[in-house]
Amino acid sequence: MWREGEERSLFSHIFLLNAPGKERLLPLSAPFWPRAILHVDMDAFYASVEQRDNPELRGKPVIVAGDPKRRGVVSAASYEVRAYGVRSAMPTGKALRLCPHAIRVFPRMERYQEVSETIFRIFARYTPLIQAVSLDEAFLDVTASQRLHGDPVTMAQKIRAAIRTETELTASVGVAASRIVAKIASDLDKPDGLTVIPESEREARLDTLPAARIWGVGPVTNKQLEKLGIRTIGQLRQWPAASLQAILGKSGSELHALANGRDDSEVVPDSTEKSISHETTFAVDVVSMEELETTLRWIADKVATRLRRRRMAGKTIFLKVRYGDFTTVTRRRTLPRATNLSETIFATALTLLRGGTQAGRRPVRLLGAGVASFSGESGQQGELFPSGERDAAKMERFERAADAIRSKLGDRSLRRASQSGWSEDTEEEWGGRGGKTE
Ligand SMILES: [Mg+2]
């Protein structure tokens, strides 16, 4: 595994005397990060936009929220009102009981959309690999941008500065070698924070944090972990992967991998999303064909469920295998008809796994599968489901029920970054970009 410290050479720093008795350490050549991900998250976005636009709201407890009489909820809370325990996603009525003098502002979505576009244009100066989580939150893969723009920390500083200058708002940024760690990092020093967690410092920085900091660990999973005596990321990391899997199902092993920083998931730009896929990094490299098959079935289920939820189907099934030494191969097969059925995706991907890879003989680090070559939205139903829509619908219902039975409790409560738009602020509920990341 790469460690940032090892990248520094003895000569990478020079002392610069720019004033008598005052020396500064300047990087001569900044360390190159083999993988560099930024997670940028605006601070109390909607509320901050309101405070910026209306000076009389500055320094005051502000909630951007729907009508309490219509069971509205808080979509953003200013830092002043958070002191009273008010949080986003809370019913407006409850927020007003906690802080009766809170100033309620109705959401102005077009305004937030406008500001969001400005922010995303700033991101685009540094990388085309931007994945929106919501209007005010995104992952940026800046690995390939380092030669042009310097190291990821410098880029993070420049992005923060540009946001401040061009929008008069603040953002918190996390810099790390994976999405999962970058996401945790951006939250550590909010508001207006910059937190850098290189791979070499990951364990030291994360081990004492609550396990619930891991993106996707919801209250249900957290309760299950607490029953096992697991409260911190460090405890989760050291727990045997096999027993976690036995208790929580497949998501237990995924969770273990995440706690160990094993997150190879990619930043997928929304505009280029031409496929739906799921992949998982194993806690320990896998040789057993049986375990690979079980995982592949689980992946096929996830992909099929997401396709059906979007009412989509595709003709090309692809498989991705990353071996222990990080060599990655993809294999694909195009079917005569588009599908969104778990069985078909699984069977095709399994054929590719058996016939087209060294799985079973060579340790596998990551396994993924997906569907591409989507059919058009209109007029293709007959072709999609030759036996008639009703049969297809029946089959879908059957598979959905099967999905539900197969998935254990933890499976439902654990939502990966790739499937949900979950974040501290639930702003995407208001029609942000959450749908893209489903
Ligand atoms: Mg935010």
- Say how far apart CA 370 and CA 276 lie, in whole Å: 5
Query: What is the model's pLDDT at position 230?
Result: 94
Q: Which of 50, 137, 293, 396 is catalytic?
A: 137
Fold of 1-198: Alpha-Beta Plaits (3.30.70)
Average pLDDT in the 254-265 region? 87
CA of 223 to the centre of ligand 1 (A): 25
Q: What is the DSSP string of 214-250?
A: STTB-HHHHHHHHHTT--BHHHHHHS-HHHHHHHHTH
Query: What is the model's pLDDT at position 52?
Result: 97
Q: How confident is the model at residue 399 (pLDDT cuts 50, 70, 90)?
A: low
- Say how far apart CA 438 and CA 436 lie, in whole Å: 6
What percentage of the chain carries pLDDT values higher than 90?
A: 54
CA of 136 to the centre of ligand 1 (A): 6
Q: How confident is the model at residue 236 (pLDDT cuts 50, 70, 90)?
A: very high
Half-sphere exposure (CA, 13 Å, Cβ side) for 24? 7
- Say how far apart CA 128 and CA 107 lie, in whole Å: 30
CA of 280 to the centre of ligand 1 (A): 27
CA of 89 to the centre of ligand 1 (A): 13
Q: What is the mean pLDDT of the chain?
A: 80
Fold of 207-259: DNA polymerase; domain 1 (1.10.150)
Q: Point out which residues pair with 25 in neighbouring strands.
A: 15
CA of 410 to the centre of ligand 1 (A): 26
CA of 222 to the centre of ligand 1 (A): 22
CA of 347 to the centre of ligand 1 (A): 41
> Two tokens at 416?
């990966």
Bigger pLDDT: 102 vs 31: 102
Taking Cα atoms as reference points, which of 245, 288, 228, 287 lies closest to residue 411?
245
Residue 275 reports pLDDT greater than 60: yes
Residue 39 reports pLDDT greater than 80: yes
Give me the count of residues in the chain: 438
Q: Which residue's structure tokens are 């999609």?
A: 384
Query: What is the model's pLDDT at position 283?
Result: 83
Whole-Å CA distances, 359 to 1, 152, 355, 365: 22, 35, 9, 10
Q: Tell me if 1-198 shares its fold with 273-434.
A: no
Average pLDDT in the 173-201 region? 96
Whether 131 contacts 269, CB under 8 Å:
yes
Is-catalytic flag, 137? yes
CA of 70 to the centre of ligand 1 (A): 25
Per-residue pLDDT tens digits for 77-132 = 999 999 999 998 889 999 999 999 999 999 998 899 899 999 999 999 999 999 98
CA of 217 to the centre of ligand 1 (A): 18
Q: CB-based contacts of 312: which residues, under 8 Å, 6+ apart?
A: 276, 340, 374, 375
CA of 352 to the centre of ligand 1 (A): 41
Half-sphere exposure (CA, 13 Å, Cβ side) for 178? 22
Per-residue pLDDT tens digits for 120-162 = 999 999 999 999 888 899 999 999 999 999 999 999 999 999 9
Q: Point out which residues pair with 267 in neighbouring strands.
A: none
> Two tokens at 289?
């064909």
Residue 289, class by beta-carbon neighbours within 10 Å (0-12 exposed, 13-18 middle, 19+ buried)?
A: middle
φ, ψ at 328 (rounded to 5°) = -120, 130
Q: How confident is the model at residue 17 (pLDDT cuts 50, 70, 90)?
A: very low
Residue 314, class by beta-carbon neighbours within 10 Å (0-12 exposed, 13-18 middle, 19+ buried)?
A: buried
Strands (E) across 92-241 are located at 103-105, 130-134, 137-141, 171-176, 194-197
Q: Point out which residues pair with 17 in neighbouring strands.
A: 23
Average pLDDT in the 375-389 region? 36
CA of 74 to the centre of ligand 1 (A): 14
Q: Which residue's structure tokens are 């360390």?
A: 31
Residue 411 reports pLDDT greater than 70: no
**Which one-letter DSSP state was computed for residue 69?**
G
Residue 245 reports pLDDT greater than 80: yes
CA of 211 to the centre of ligand 1 (A): 21
Query: What is the model's pLDDT at position 220?
Result: 84
Homologous superfamily of 273-434: DNA polymerase, Y-family, little finger domain (3.30.1490.100)
Domains of the chain, residue spans = 1-198, 207-259, 273-434
Per-residue pLDDT tens digits for 324-336 = 988 889 999 999 8
Query: What is the model's pLDDT at position 424?
Result: 28
Whether 336 contacts 292, CB under 8 Å:
no
- Say how far apart CA 57 and CA 74 lie, in whole Å: 17
CA of 182 to the centre of ligand 1 (A): 14
Helix (H) or strand (E) holding 336: strand 328-339
- Say how far apart CA 237 and CA 107 lie, in whole Å: 41
**Which one-letter DSSP state was computed for residue 33?**
P
